[in-house]
Amino acid sequence: MSDQTTCRRDARPRRLILAGAHRQPGYCLTCGIRAQSICSVIDDDDIARLAETAVETLALPGRTFIEEGAPATDFYNITSGSVKLFKALPDGRRQITGFATTGHFLGLAVSDQYAFGAEAIDTVRLCRFSRPRMRQLMDDFPRLERRLLAEASNELVAAQNQMLLLGRKTARERVASFLLERMREARDPAEDVPLPMTRSDMADYLGLTIETVSRTLSWMRTERLIAIGKGHTVRITAMERLEALAAGES
């Protein structure tokens, strides 16, 4: 019997009416995530241009701030919080295709419409850039354009990895790969790995049932591959073994 799940059926996601103020000129100089975002390629002398272009935006938990198929009018840089990305079907079913967190840049559309939806998992803070203003910045700062091209390339690699994960890997390999991916996103292997998404969202993303995800995490805990941390976190306690499992070598 297959362990694959069907796309989850949800009510039409609630839209967030985006509102905010332009960043103060000096904001980007002290931004804690500047080094890990696209903003890092802009020199201190020019960073005020970026700040004046960005609009501070807040997305509350459960709110959709990018709707698939809507006009791609803006780009978003996540400054805090976690986001789930999804594709929707006309009958309301949704398939989660990824998760994004601090430092991620969203909205690299190759057409005039968004190819995915984005919903806040927890409270998410963003810098919003209009497409015309971002195009002007890319014209003025070629390094910014190169960085955005690199981001688009990374998205392609992530999509290819997701195809491999869903098409060939076992349940244990999928969960192991997911935990390692989240650890890399956290950027500090010594810290607990945040898992703010629900088990249902995790299962949807991995193409598994909720029960299988829960059983696999319990097995990993018994095998001392992971330890359950405080809140929605886990700690990887046997890195080499987990990496071997994710690679199909265990």
184/75 same-domain check: no
137/194 same-domain check: no
Q: What pLDDT score does 112 carry?
A: 87
Domain containing 156 equals: 8-162
Domain of 111, CATH number, reads 2.60.120.10
136/176 same-domain check: no
Given a cut of 90, whether residue 84 has pLDDT beyond it is yes
Strands of the sheet with 105-106, listed across from one edge: 55-59, 124-130, 74-80, 105-106
20/142 same-domain check: yes
More confident residue, 167 or 96: 96
153/178 same-domain check: no
More confident residue, 152 or 126: 126
Which residue among 162, 194, 220 closes a domain? 162
More confident residue, 86 or 44: 86
Q: What pLDDT score does 3 carry?
A: 55
Question: Distance between the two ends of the chain, CA-based, in angstroms?
Answer: 23
At 105-120, the pLDDT tens digits run 898 766 789 989 999 9
More confident residue, 186 or 126: 126
Q: What pLDDT score does 24 carry?
A: 65
Given a cut of 60, whether residue 1 has pLDDT beyond it is no
218-239: average pLDDT: 93
124/53 same-domain check: yes
38/76 same-domain check: yes
235/188 same-domain check: yes
More confident residue, 233 or 6: 233
At 181-228, the pLDDT tens digits run 999 887 666 678 999 999 999 999 999 999 999 999 999 999 999 998
The number of distinct structural domains making up the chain is 2
User: Can you state the angle between helices 142-168 and 171-186, rounded to 10 degrees?
Assistant: 160
80/19 same-domain check: yes
**Full DSSP string of 26-82:** THHHH-TTGGGSGGGGS-TTTHHHHHHH-EEEEE-TT-EEE-TTSB--EEEEEEES-
Which three-class secondary structure state does DSSP give residue 84?
strand
Res. 6 pLDDT band, cuts 50 70 90: very low
